[in-house]
Amino acid sequence: MNWLENGWQVKKLEAEITIFYDDEQSARAVADAVSPDNFKVPAGLYVKTERRKGGVWTFIKCNRGFQTFIATVDDLLFAITTAEKTLKATRKLE
């Protein structure tokens, strides 16, 4: 039996995710690409992304349930992966 099915109520979920890069330019490009997501979130969800010391740092706070929390983390990681692939492709063109 799943602990969520056992009557447990999750009131607040939080995650702090940091991804480090070899150079500051990559960190800046990825942070800039995903930071617009900071502004497009529904009530009960908070997402803050910024560049910190050669990495991209994101803090997520969710009061909308486990599924919303997991979907938000998944969306963030997908956006970061897309930004990294785009950055790699543009560097090949240089």
Q: How many domains does the chain have?
A: 1
Give 31-84 pLDDT, tens digit per residue: 999 987 567 788 999 999 999 989 999 999 999 998 999 999 999 999 999 999
63 is a domain residue: yes
- 10 pLDDT more than 80: no
Q: Which residues pair with 52 in a beta bridge?
A: 55
Look up the domain containing 87 and give its range. 13-93
Domain containing residue 27: CATH number: 3.30.310.50
pLDDT band at 4 (very low <50, low <70, confident <90, very high): low
| Residue 68 counted as domain residue | yes
Residue 3 lies in a domain: no
Q: What is the pTM of this model?
A: 0.83
Contact present, 85 and 40 (Cβ < 8 Å) = no
